[in-house]
Structure 1
Amino acid sequence: MEITQKKRYIDVLTATAADLCRLLEAGQTTSVNIVEAYLAQIEKHNKTGLGLRAIISTAPRDTVLSRATKLDTERLNGKIRSGLHGIPIIIKDAIVTSKALGMPTTAGAFAFKETYGKKNAAIVKLLIQSGLIIIGKASMTEFCGLKATFGGFRKDDLFCGRSGPGGSSSGSGVGVSAGFAPLSIGTETGGSIYGLFSLSRSFDGLGGMAKTVEDLEMLMNLLLSDQAREAQSLKWEDISIGFVDPIVWNAFGFQNFPDEGVEKQILDGYEWARAQLAQRGAKIAYPVKLPLMKDLNYDGKSVSHLVSFFEFPRQFEKFCEELQNAEVSSVQELIEFNNKNAGRAMPEPHTDQADLIQTLESTMTDETASAVKAQGKLLAGSQGIDAALAKNEIDLIIGPGDCEICAVAALAGYPKAMVPMSRLEGPVGLGQPQGLMIIGGAGSERKMFEFMKLWKEVIGTWKVPPLLETADREKLG
C-alpha cells in the first residue's frame, strides 16, 4: 500500500516528540517527513554551519527513510508499536549497533572508527521494536572520559571531538538541543546494562534526554519497571525537597578560572530555585548533608577510582568481543595502537594515555573489589542518601547542576535526573546552561518525574538555545 507523503514544515528546534506524535496520529504528517527534517538539520549544523559536531555518524539516508516508510505503512494499517511509533532518536556511540543500521560503534575512539557490532545492543533492539528510528550516533568523550580532557568539541579534532561541554554524553544532549532529534539516549554512572561500552561494570547505565518531561517520560517508560511507570499526580505540598550547600559541593568546579560574576549568578539562581519551591508549598530542608566524594573511600583511596580502574580492562575486552573484526581486543593492544597511530588517535592536547596505562596496574582481586563496592554502596546509600532522606523527612535531594551528588547516587546505585533552570550571562558566562541535579533513594524515579512536571510550572516551556535562535532556520515542506 502506498502512502501519499504529507509535506509539513517541522520546526526541529521547538518540536517535541509529543507534538510529533499528535501530528502523526492526526494524519497531518508522516514519519518520512519528520525524518527528512531532522536529517536536514544534522546536515546543516553538525559538521558545517555552526559545526556542533554532536553526531559521530549518521544513519544512511536510504536506510532510515525506508524504515520510516515501513512505519508509516504500519500506522496506516492500524499497527502502532508504542507511543513513540515513527519518532527519530539519536543514541550515544557507546551503544553497540550492527552493520545493518549503517553506523559504526566507536566509543569515541579512533581505533574503532570503522568497526561495527556483531549484533544490536538490547536497548537498540527495544527501540526498534518500539517503532523508533535511530538516525545517528552521538559524540562522546573517548571511553566515557577515561582518555580525554574536558573543554568542548574542537573543530580541529581529527575524528569526532574528544571532549564536550557536559561530560561524556555531550553529543546526546547537544543533539536534542540543536534539533538533530527530539529524543536521545546517553549513558551515566548508574547501573549495569548489556550492550554498551562502560567504564565500569558496577556504575554505568543508560538515561534519556528530551526537551520536555512529557517526552522523557514516554521514552523512559520503555525502559523502566512497571512499578516505576505507575502514574502519580502530586501537588507541591505533596513533595519534600532537600537542598545541599552549593559552596560545600563546589558549584563552581567547572570553571577554568574563578569569576565573581559567574559565581554570583550560580548562587543567586540556586537560591531562587529554592525560594520558588517554598513559595509554591513544597517542604524544604536546607542544608542537607551528604558524604562528599572525597570521603567515599576504602583504605584511604577513592571507591569510584579503585573499582572503575580495576573493572575497565575486562569491560573493554567484553566490548571488543561484541564488535566485528576490531583492530584491538585488549587495553594493552589499544595503547600500542594509539602509539602507532598517534597523529590520528592522540591529537593535541589529548596525547596522554596515563589513565589507560594505570588500569593495567591495578592489584585488586575480585574479592577485594567486591568489598570495595560494598563499602561504597554502604557509605553512599544506607549511610549517605538514605540517612539524609530519613533525617530530613524528604523525598528527593537537589544540588547545583555541576556538582558531584550524582556520583554519590551512582555509588549507591540510585536514580538521578537533571532539570533546566537558567543560563549564565555575560562575557564569561557565555550562555552556559544551568540546571539542578536531582537524586533520590532506590525506586524514586516516579517521584522524580512528578517533580519535573511541577518544575515546569516554574520555568515554563522549552527555550531554544540563543546560538541556534539566531542561526537561519531551514524551512522544509
Structure 2
Amino acid sequence: MASLGWSAVGGQTQSAYVRGGLREDDSIGGHSSPGGSSTGSAVAVAAGFSPIAVGADTMGSLIMPSDRSALYTIKPTVKIVSQTGIIPITLELDSAGPMAKSALDLANLLQILVDPSKTTIPDGGYKSAATGSWGNIRIGILEPEKWLFDTKLVKYEKPATDQMLREWKQAYEKLKSVAKIVKPVTLISLEESTDNGRIKIWNAFDTTFKDLIKDYLSGVDNSKIHSLEDLIEFNKTHADKELPPGADNQAALLRAVQAKMTDDEYNDIMNSARELCGKNGIDKTLEENDVDIIIGPGDGPMFGIALTAGYPVATVPLGYLEFNGRPFGMQIAAKAHQEALLIQAQSAWEATFPKREPPPLHEIALN
C-alpha cells in the first residue's frame, strides 16, 4: 500500500515540519507521515505556498493532514457543500472542506464553500462566529489514552506518545480555567460503532464506487479512462509509474469491481451506522452530559464516529513533537449543522493557546 501523501504524479509529499522527512521504516500513518489524503493541500498551506486551501474528505482526509500541519480545518456536515468535482468514494460521506492557519481565514473560506440553501448560516456569516471567546460553550473531553490511533496505523514511539498525552491533558486543564463547563465524557467506541464488526460500512461503499467513478469520469475532458475497469487496466499497463514498489497494490479497486449488495442491505448498513454514530453516539454523549462540543486527541480516531454520522469535525493546533518536530493538536465534534459553533470554539482555542508556529524549513531535509 502506498504511504499517505504519495501519488504517481508528484511522488511522496513531505511534511513541512518533520526533520528528515518520511522514514522508510515507518507505518503508513506513523509520526513521520504528513497524513492524508488531502496531504498536498495541508502541506501547501503550512509551507507558505498558499494562505488557504480546499481539501476533500471521506474519512479523515481533512482531519489527519491538518492536525499534522498545525492547521485549522472543518469537515462540514455532509451535503452542505457541493460534491460536484470531487473524485467520489461515497455520496454518504464525501465533502470538500477548508484549511487555514487561523479560525477567521477558515470561516471566510467555509462561507464560500457552503450552500446556504442546505443549512443555516449565522447573520453576518461564519466570520461572525469567530469571537475569540468560549462564551457559554460547554465542553466534553475524552480520555486521551482511550482515543489513540491503532499501532498498526501509527507505529508506537514512546517519547512521542508520552508527550502528546501529557500536552493533551495540560490543554484540558487550561480549558477548565477559561471555559464555564469542562467535564469528562465517554463516546461510543469504534468497535461499538460497527456493532463489533457486523456493520461493514466500507463494504457498502465498495458497491457504489464503481458507478460513482464512472459518472465522474464521464465529465472529465480528454480522458481515455471511462470506467473503474479502465483505470485498473491503465495502472497495470503503466505499472512502472502507477504501481512501483511500495505502492503496488490495487486491492481496493479490484474489490470494488466485484462488490455487490442489494439496496436493502446497503440501506440497512447505512441506517444502522448513522444511528449508532449519530443518535446513539455524538448526540447521546452531548445530550446526556449537557455539553455542546466534544474534544479529543487530534492523533486519534474520534473523527470516525462523527463523520460516519455525517456530522462536522474540526481541528485545532497544539504542540510539536520533540521526537521529530511533527505537529499535533486536537479534534472537536458537534451535532449536524453546528459549523458556526465549531468556528467559535476554534477562535476561542486560538485566543487561549500559544500561536501556531511556522515550520522551520531551514532545518527540514527533504528527500
TM-score with structure 1 setting the length: 0.62
Partner of 2:223: 326
**Residues 295, 262 of structure 1: alpha-carbon distance in 2 compared, 3 angstrom cutoff:** same
Partner of 2:29: none
Asked if the contact 1:237/1:283 (under 8 Å) is kept, the reply is no
Aligned residue among 159, 178, 185 for 2:47: 178
Question: Could you tell me how far 1:367 is from its partner in structure 2?
Answer: 2.6
Counterpart CA distance in 2 for 1:228 and 1:405 is 25
Matches within 5 A, 1:253-292: 253=151, 256-286=154-184, 288-292=185-189
Higher alpha-carbon deviation: 247-256 or 220-229: 247-256
**Residues 152, 320 of structure 1: alpha-carbon distance in 2 compared, 3 angstrom cutoff:** closer
Question: Could you tell me how far 1:259 is from its partner in structure 2?
Answer: 2.1
Asked if the contact 2:133/2:347 (under 8 Å) is kept, the reply is no
Aligned residue among 302, 308, 317 for 2:214: 317
Secondary structure of 1:227's counterpart equals coil
**Residues 246, 447 of structure 1: alpha-carbon distance in 2 compared, 3 angstrom cutoff:** same
Question: Could you tell me how far 1:457 is from its partner in structure 2?
Answer: 1.8
1:436-474 Cα distance to aligned partner (Å, 9 max, x none)? 111110121111111111111222334211225789xxx
Partner of 2:56: 187
Counterpart CA distance in 2 for 1:150 and 1:201 is 25
Secondary structure of 2:120's counterpart equals helix
Counterpart CA distance in 2 for 1:252 and 1:420 is 21
Counterpart CA distance in 2 for 1:351 and 1:470 is 28
Is it true that 1:416 corresponds to 2:306 in the alignment?
A: no
Is it true that 1:445 corresponds to 2:339 in the alignment?
A: yes
Is it true that 1:168 corresponds to 2:37 in the alignment?
A: yes
Asked if the contact 2:295/2:332 (under 8 Å) is kept, the reply is yes
Asked if the contact 1:183/1:208 (under 8 Å) is kept, the reply is yes
Partner of 1:370: 267
Partner of 2:256: 359
Partner of 1:243: 141
Counterpart CA distance in 1 for 2:223 and 2:132 is 50
Partner of 1:436: 330
Matched letter for residue 166 of structure 1 = G
Counterpart CA distance in 1 for 2:153 and 2:221 is 41
Matched letter for residue 225 of structure 2 = V
Secondary structure of 1:417's counterpart equals strand
**Residues 309, 254 of structure 1: alpha-carbon distance in 2 compared, 3 angstrom cutoff:** same
1:264-309 Cα distance to aligned partner (Å, 9 max, x none)? 10101110110111011331121x2222223333794444312221
Secondary structure of 1:238's counterpart equals coil
Secondary structure of 1:241's counterpart equals strand
Counterpart CA distance in 2 for 1:256 and 1:393 is 33
1:339-365 Cα distance to aligned partner (Å, 9 max, x none)? 111101111111011111111222212
Higher alpha-carbon deviation: 223-232 or 177-186: 223-232
Secondary structure of 1:313's counterpart equals helix
Counterpart CA distance in 1 for 2:233 and 2:106 is 41
Is it true that 1:159 corresponds to 2:49 in the alignment?
A: no
Mind listing any 5+ residue stretches in structure 2 that lack a counterpart?
Answer: 14-32, 59-76
Matched letter for residue 328 of structure 1 = I
Question: Could you tell me how far 1:240 is from its partner in structure 2?
Answer: 0.9
Question: Could you tell me how far 1:329 is from its partner in structure 2?
Answer: 1.5
Partner of 1:228: 121
Partner of 2:101: 211
Matches within 5 A, 1:290-301: 290-297=187-194, 300-301=197-198
**Residues 255, 210 of structure 1: alpha-carbon distance in 2 compared, 3 angstrom cutoff:** same
**Residues 222, 321 of structure 1: alpha-carbon distance in 2 compared, 3 angstrom cutoff:** same
Asked if the contact 2:318/2:356 (under 8 Å) is kept, the reply is no
1:123-176 Cα distance to aligned partner (Å, 9 max, x none)? xxxxxxxxxxxxxxxxxxxxxxxxx533555xxx75223676121111101001
* Matched residues, number: 317
Question: Could you tell me how far 1:253 is from its partner in structure 2?
Answer: 4.2
Secondary structure of 1:434's counterpart equals strand
Partner of 1:305: 202
Counterpart CA distance in 1 for 2:203 and 2:195 is 9
**Residues 334, 270 of structure 1: alpha-carbon distance in 2 compared, 3 angstrom cutoff:** same
TM-score with structure 2 setting the length: 0.80
1:183-238 Cα distance to aligned partner (Å, 9 max, x none)? 10001126241221121121110110011111111111122337233334574351
Asked if the contact 1:398/1:436 (under 8 Å) is kept, the reply is yes
Secondary structure of 1:360's counterpart equals helix
Counterpart CA distance in 1 for 2:196 and 2:250 is 26
Counterpart CA distance in 2 for 1:240 and 1:289 is 15
Which structure's CA Rg is the greater one?
Answer: 1
Counterpart CA distance in 1 for 2:196 and 2:37 is 29
1:73-131 Cα distance to aligned partner (Å, 9 max, x none)? xxxxxxxxxxxxxxxxxxxxxxxxxxxxxxxxxxxxxxxxxxxxxxxxxxxxxxxxxxx
1:320-355 Cα distance to aligned partner (Å, 9 max, x none)? 011013222111221111111110111111101111
| Percent of aligned pairs with the same amino acid | 29
Matched letter for residue 239 of structure 1 = I
Aligned residue among 283, 288, 293 for 1:391: 288
**Residues 334, 255 of structure 1: alpha-carbon distance in 2 compared, 3 angstrom cutoff:** closer
Cα RMSD for the two superposed structures:
2.3
Q: Larger relative CO (CA 8 A, sep 6+): 1 or 2?
A: 2
Counterpart CA distance in 2 for 1:456 and 1:299 is 38
**Residues 257, 251 of structure 1: alpha-carbon distance in 2 compared, 3 angstrom cutoff:** closer
Secondary structure of 1:236's counterpart equals coil
Asked if the contact 2:306/2:312 (under 8 Å) is kept, the reply is yes
**Residues 322, 158 of structure 1: alpha-carbon distance in 2 compared, 3 angstrom cutoff:** closer
Counterpart CA distance in 2 for 1:411 and 1:348 is 33
